[in-house]
Amino acid sequence: MASPQNPESPRLAYREPPLTEILSCFICKDKPKDHRMCPNCSKLFCKNCIQAKLHKLQKCPSCKIPLIKDALVECRFLKPLIEYFEVAKDQDLDFIEKCSIHNTELGYYCITCSQAICADCAILTTTHKGHNFERLSSIYQVHHDLITKELVLLKDRIEELTDTLAEIDLKIKIIDKKALEHKGKLSLALDSMQERLDFQLQESLQGLYDIKEQVYEEISSLEQILEKVEHKNSRESEISVIKTSASLLKEIKDASEKPCKEFEILNLMPEFYSELAPEYIGSIFIVHDYKKLKSEKEIIFSEHLCVNTTVWRLKIYPNGNGAARGNYISIFLELVKGRRESIKYEYKIEMINHNNSDMDLSREFMSDFEEGECWGYNRFFRLDLLEEEGYIDSLGCLVIKYYVRPFGYIQLVQDQKDYISHLIKKKDLTEKKVQELTLKLQNYENIPITPQKSQEINEGTLRKSYIEIDSAKIDKINIESQIPPHHADQQINLPDFTED
């Protein structure tokens, strides 16, 4: 006996078990045709549905575990089982939802109350008096059609994502293959570089070994003469020594004054050029009378170093910068002119020791430079040790070498392309100017100009044009080197890459 309930709320006499869903195709949601089952999750599929899916992506649509066609289980027993349940459903009245008050079938739907009711509720009670009714089957069909329509969209979306997943897997395979091929090429390139390096090393060492053998022969020859003379001088009689003295002295003199072979050792010192990174391009900056400049100037700039389309210079704080002021010399490399975007460059700064070259101080780093930006070292070296340790010579000179190079050959090629493009534009402008001046000259003189005369005028004008351009550049550099850059105040607390 059921417990009392709200008469307005219909009671579900018996919930239909989800057999329809269990025994339906997981893909099309319809009665399976030629049943196939996943051996991992036991989901059912139509044969055509699952084979079409596995053709695109070899994974179960339900459990996502890898699956191939041959692994599908054929379920012959399901067809009679499904037919049995369909017959049982039609014959068993307990599958019908009933009203909890009148125990009759819920055949109507009260739109006003949004509630399923029976015919007695609609006619005999006053609860739903004046409400709008529809047959339950009609309302069900509307909702069923809406859900079915959305399910179609959902299936299409799943299908689209499945195709996208297949494309991603394909691209992953292609990328992996290309990366593997590139690794193979890199490996071959490195092996080739190693072979060239070994050959260069062996060639240089062989030359030194040959010279070493010649030196040994020279020493051996001199030692034989030395042994011979010492033997006669110490072992033979006094008279014999006196008699042979003149010849012995001549032999010693000839051996001593014999011109030594010139061994070209320096020419055999190889330069092992890197095939992985471009060579450094650098310049030397000599700071004269450093002590005086230290007290007079806050910042010292070097001359410009032009590398393709980039222009660089050293920026030195002789008395230190920021927190290092008064204790360390601060040295930075500034990109005066270059690209607007941030580009990675490697740079090296060396401070020369005038007493011992082994004590030359070198700092090397890599940074992202933008036009007008500085990178370097706040604490490059202690001020109180500069002169004491030999970095300032007797004339008060401080010598600093600085180098810069692009990060890799790809960037070097791009810089060179930009520089070539710059030169072509400059050449075109100069030729245009030459043509204009030639026409003006022809109009002024009002005389015909022969091809030979035109060539002479063009060459002369071109030389003059380049002289004017170079003179203007020199004047501009001289002016800029006397004033700090516009961003100098922003560089007071530049990063320090040195260890305390």
Give me the number of domains the chain comprises: 4
pLDDT at residue 491 tops 50: no
Same domain, 295 and 367: yes
Residues 6 or more apart in contact with residue 10 via CB below 8 angstroms: 97, 98, 99, 100, 106, 115, 116, 117, 118
What mean pLDDT is predicted for residues 149-162? Answer: 91
Same domain, 199 and 171: yes
Mean pLDDT (the chain, rounded): 80
C-alpha dihedral over 114, 115, 116, 117, to 10 degrees?
-120
In this structure, the answer to whether residues 374 and 427 fall within a common structural domain is no
Instruction: Give 335: exposed, middle or buried? Use CB within 10 Å, 0-12, 13-18, 19+.
Output: buried
Residue that terminates a domain, selected from 97, 123, 152: 97
Instruction: Characterise 38 by phi-psi region: left (phi > 0), alpha (psi -120 to 50), beta (else).
Output: beta
Question: What is residue 461's predicted lDDT score, i.e. its pLDDT?
Answer: 53
Within this chain, do residues 227 and 322 fall inside the same structural domain, yes or no?
A: no
Q: Is residue 104 part of a domain?
A: no
Which CATH number fits the domain that encloses residue 308? 2.60.210.10
**What integer is the mean pLDDT of 4-28?**
56
From the CB of residue 225, how many other CB atoms can be counted at a distance below 10 Å? Answer: 15
In the listed set 213, 245, 276, which residue is the last one of a domain according to the structure? 276
Q: Tell me the pLDDT band of 160, cut-offs 50, 70 and 90.
A: very high
CB 163 within 8 A of CB 43: no
Residue 335 lies in a domain: yes
Higher pLDDT, 127 or 95: 127
Q: Are residues 93 and 31 in the same domain?
A: yes
Between these two residues, 87 and 300, which has the higher pLDDT value?
Answer: 300
Across 46-52, average pLDDT: 88
Q: Residue 90's pLDDT band (boundaries 50, 70, 90)?
A: low
- Cα separations (Å) of 365 from 109, 203, 349, 469? 80, 33, 9, 35
More confident residue, 487 or 128: 128
Q: In CATH, what number is assigned to the domain containing residue 46?
A: 3.30.40.10
Shared domain for 290 and 261, answered yes or no, is no
Residue-number span of the structural domain to which 81 is assigned: 19-97
DSSP type of residue 105: B
Say what the pLDDT of residue 259 is: 65
In a shared domain, residues 161 and 32: no
pTM of the model: 0.46
Spacing of C-alpha 210 from chain mean position: 47
Task: For residues 287 and 350, state if they share a domain.
Answer: yes
Q: How far is CA 105 from CA 99, 109, 139, 295, 446, in A?
A: 6, 12, 15, 107, 117
- The least confident of 14-18, 80-84, 431-435 is 14-18
**Do 423 and 370 sit in the same domain of this protein?**
no
The answer to whether position 424 is within a domain reads yes
State CA 292 to chain mean position distance: 46
Q: Is 298 a domain residue?
A: yes
Euclidean distance between CA atoms 194 and 131, whole angstroms:
93
Residue 330, Cβ density class (10 Å: 0-12 exposed, 13-18 middle, ≥19 buried): buried
pLDDT of residue 32: 77
In a domain, 4, yes or no: no
Last residue of a domain, one of 367, 384, 408: 408
Residue 28 shares a structural domain with residue 61 = yes
Say yes or no to pLDDT of 86 above 70.
no
Amino acid making up residue 16: E
Q: Which residues pair with 335 in a beta bridge?
A: 312
Q: Is the pLDDT of residue 281 over 60?
A: yes
Average pLDDT over residues 351-363: 92
C-alpha torsion 94→95→100→101, nearest 10? -70
Percent of the chain with pLDDT over 70: 79
Residue for token digits 């219909």?
10
User: 223 in a domain, yes or no?
Assistant: yes
Q: Any long-range contacts for 420-426 (C-beta under 8 Å, 24+ apart)?
A: 422/309
Any domain includes 128: no
The verdict on residue 9 lying in a domain is no
**Among 196-210, 281-295, 401-415, 458-472, which stretch is predicted with the lowest mean pLDDT?**
458-472
Residue 304 burial by CB count (10 A; 0-12/13-18/19+): exposed, middle or buried?
Answer: middle
Both tokens assigned to 451:
């091809």
Can you tell me the mean pLDDT for 108-130? 86
Give pLDDT, residue 382. 92
Does 67 share its domain with 193?
A: no
**Same domain membership, residue 257 and residue 155:** yes
Amino acid at 263: F
- Quick check: 21 pLDDT over 50? yes
For residues 202-222, average pLDDT = 83
- pLDDT the model gives residue 197: 84
Distance CA 393, CA 401 (A): 16
